[in-house]
A and B are shown apart, each in its own frame.
Chain A
Amino acid sequence: MTVATRNPLVEDYLRALQRATQPLPRHERNELVEQIRAHLDEALPPNASETDVRNALDALGTPTEVARSAGVPATPRRGAREVIGLLLAATGFPPFLGWIVGGVLIATSPLWSARQKLLGMFVGPVAWAGIVTLGVVHSTSADPSCHRTGANSAACHTALLSTSGGAAWLSITIFVVLFAIPFVTAAYLWRAAGRRAGVNALA
């Protein structure tokens, strides 16, 4: 190993190259990284200045360019699929259709990992299931007159609000949190997609 390969700029570049060539088979990725390392060993004298190193790295091209030439496909940017998919999945509107269409759009995007996709697809239904459960819990613990007149009557609504102060606030808080979770998740997934697209657009 010569001085060049112990250089921090070179090591940063090679690490970025490793990341950019992730999709390649392991032996191809290793071969390419070794070829580039050997190239830099030849190109840079032991007493190379920072300028020399930067020039040599510039001449090589960005890790993304090199990865592209090795057959790594370019990742598309965030687009309509991601926007509409997240909106439909978070709002769940139109009822059920929103989750299904949104879920399909999320599942078919190249910008999320499998785990992120599952999160996006199911956070909406799970949160709403939570809200419905909360409503059921309330209607079963409310004023008996509520049962007689039906869940949507005024008696039930007042029953909800008149349960002891602490329980009411807890319920409201839980409701707000459950309602917000799909939107917070959508925001997180939006940024995650942006990071994935950005990593491939930059060096």
Chain B
Amino acid sequence: MVATTSDVVSQLRRGALEFCVLAMLVPEERYAFDIVRSLGEIDGMVTAEGTLYPLLSRLKKDGRVTTTWRDSDSGPPRKYYAITPAGRQALAEFAAEWHRFRDAVESLLAKGTT
């Protein structure tokens, strides 16, 4: 069975998504709904918002993020996610690999589509 373009892109997206989430947490800690909504606003990033919650749980399980409950003035307490040193490390490794990969694909595509 031949993989369709959308299958391939889904795989790429699935692989990159957790690092995109980690990158969002570098400037500051954020709460779950905020992360989900921001990602949802970027075209092409998330198809199903609900799938981000298992991802966040996995990041916590892997020690790449920590969570803290904080009071909020607009309702019930919120769970804030913050990146850990292990998370920063994983992100840096991914970024290096990603840049290499992206540059390679870009240059090959450029030759193939001119």
Contacts and interface: CB of A to CB of B under 8 A. Distances in A.
Contacts of A42: 33, 75
A69 B33 contact: no
B49 to A, nearest CB: 5
Interface stretch (B52-60, B83-91, B94-102, B103-111): B52-60
A61 interface: yes
What is the predominant secondary structure among interface residues of chain A facing chain B? helix
Interface string A15-32: 000000000000010011
Contacts of A43: 33
Contacts of B76: 38, 41
B57 A32 contact: yes
A36 B51 CA distance: 10
A32 B36 CA distance: 14
A133 to B, nearest CB: 51
B48 to A, nearest CB: 2
A2 B79 CA distance: 17
Which of A31, A32, A38, A65 gathers the greatest number of chain B CB atoms within 10 Å?
A: A38
B48 A61 contact: yes
Interface of B: 32-33, 36, 40, 47-51, 53-57, 75-76, 79
12 contacts: A35-B32, A38-B32, A38-B79, A39-B32, A42-B75, A59-B48, A60-B50, A62-B48, A66-B50, A68-B51, A70-B57, A71-B54
